[in-house]
Amino acid sequence: MKKVLFLLVAFSAALLANEGEVANQTLKAYSMIAAGLGLGLAALGGAIGMGHTAAATIAGTARNPGLGAKLMTTMFIALAMIEAQVIYALVIALIALYANPFLG
pLDDT tens figures, 64-83: 999 999 999 999 999 999 99
Distance CA 23, CA 97 (A): 15
Distance CA 34, CA 22 (A): 18
**Whether the Cβ atoms of residue 50 and residue 84 lie closer than 8 Å to each other:** no
Contacts for 49 with CB less than 8 Å, ≥ 6 apart = 82
Alpha helices in the chain (DSSP H): 2-17, 20-63, 68-98
Reported as a pLDDT band with limits 50, 70 and 90, residue 8 is confident
Which numeric CATH code is attached to 23-98? 1.20.20.10
Top mean-pLDDT range of 7-11, 26-30, 68-72: 68-72
Say whether pLDDT at 16 is over 70: no
